[in-house]
Amino acid sequence: MEGNRFIIKPGIRRSVVLHYFIVVFLTMLILQIIFSVFVRSYYYDTISNYLESHATNSMKYYKNYTSILADDNSERWLPELHSYFNVENAEVQILDKEGKVLITSSNFPVIEKVQTSDFLAAANNANAKIERWIGKVPETGETVMSVSAPLIANGNVSYVLRMTTSLEAANSKIMSIIMLSILISIAVLLIIFLISVGLADSIVKPINEITIVSAQMAKGKFQVRAKEGYKYELGDLARTLNYMAKEIVKSNQLKNDFISSISHELRTPLTGIKGWSETLLLGNMHQVDEETKLGLNIISKETDRLIGLVEELLDFSKLQQNRLQLNWQPLSLYKLLQETLFQVRMKAEQKQISLTLNDDVTNSDSDEQLNGDANRLKQVFLNLVDNAIKFSPENSRIEVRLRRTHTHYEVRIIDSGIGISKEHLTKVMDKFYQVNPEHGGTGLGLAITDEIVKVHGGEMSIISEQGRGTTVIVDLPLDYVPPARVADEED
């Protein structure tokens, strides 16, 4: 987990890190450019000032020197003047106004005339202004700096003093400084990256924790709580989420209490209505007309339907409040499925639907191998098979398959009915959800069935294709011990 810390996936974390990194990178880049220009200017200006200082002194010396010469032909005095003009680490040349090198400190003859910008400006400048030029020597490619100063006598430019020095050493020094500054910048960027990752984690980690809690709440686990110790808006968000969960729990409690209360209130009169309608039907009905008999039958059937709805509401209320009492005992799942199919066989025959039970276990293997509540498990399979009959066409087939592994039983209820669309399949086990409200009911049947399976430590899943049929799979573990019994054994 720690190794994946610096793998930045799309999200707020990456956005924070990238924004910080890009801002700092651009800032460092601008500073690096400014620093590089400053360092280059500093070194070049230092060299230039050094050469210009010597050039200025040389111009003054030449002016004073020529003022005391009696001979107008000053060219023969150039070697003596040149020796005074010499500068360490620079080639000193004296040129005529055409660019011909008259004398040079390199002792190498120069054939080509000098036509660089500094020379041309100095040769045509009688105001004693010193000019500078930076460029490359064509023959060697070496970067050099030259400073040219006009040597003025009697108000006219007589010669041009040109001092040239190599910039290779200076450029090497500048490059070393720039490379060092780049390494420092990279180190700073790395530090900023690590800091931004930590900062992003301090923001994203609480958000992820709150997201996990909210996802659990979305699944109905309102007893979980988010940490409220976060600072600023995240703390407010956590407290608001917890407050919402508390209010939902209160609301659910009120709803469950109301359902439980109203269900009990309804069941008593319904039981009375059911009992009296059956009493009347079983009594002397010879003097009662057919319409009255039909009405009594309708009353009896509708009472059965309402009692079923009330029982569903009561089961739902008990499951929500963890008050569902189960009678745990060893049972035979194979026999339980046989009883279930026998109980709904008449309803299936009314639609000419064939019911079959296939298993890969022997009767001896299946006897009392499962720990559970027989009545509640029968309620599960009755509901599932009843749904299969309700939504299957006439003259079709419903198959119940029982398979046993080393760890669990698997029951499959397979029909060739209308099926469930993908849109409804993910919600069909939600509480109060109905694929087609016109079919009636509370929308609690599959939700209660799923909860009973979970109470037995199992899982229920649905595979369906619209128009092709539905397969409901119920997995029940062998030798499941409910939490209450585990606690008793530990005590």
CA distance 163 to 85: 9
pLDDT at 1: 42
Residues 6 or more apart in contact with residue 61 via CB below 8 angstroms: 81, 84, 85
pLDDT at 41: 93
Q: Which residues pair with 132 in a beta bridge?
A: 147
CA distance 193 to 101: 59
Q: What is the pTM of this model?
A: 0.50
Opening angle at CA 105, ends 104 and 107, nearest 5: 80
Work out whether strand 397-404 and strand 354-359 pair parallel, antiparallel, or are unpaired: parallel
Instruction: List the one residue out of 423, 341, 355 whose CA is nearest residue 392.
Output: 355
10-residue block means of pLDDT along the chain (491 residues)? Answer: 52 77 90 93 92 87 70 63 79 88 79 86 81 86 90 82 90 94 91 84 82 84 83 85 86 70 66 71 66 75 70 66 75 90 90 87 57 87 89 90 89 89 80 66 76 89 88 89 54 42
Residues 6 or more apart in contact with residue 445 via CB below 8 angstroms: 312, 383, 387
Is domain 232-320 classified as CATH 3.90.180.10? no
CATH 1.10.287.130 in the chain is located at: 232-320
Residue 420 phi, psi (nearest 5) = -130, 135
Alpha carbon of 261 to those of 186, 204, 271, 311, 317: distances in Å? 71, 45, 16, 12, 10
CA distance 60 to 152: 9
CA distance 388 to 411: 14
3-class state of residue 107 by DSSP: coil
CA distance 107 to 111: 12
Q: Which amino acid is at 310?
A: V
Looking at domain 329-490, which CATH architecture does it have?
A: 2-Layer Sandwich (3.30)
Q: Which CATH number fits domain 14-172: 3.10.20.600, 3.40.50.150, 1.10.10.10, 3.30.450.20?
A: 3.30.450.20
CATH 3.30.565.10 in the chain is located at: 329-490
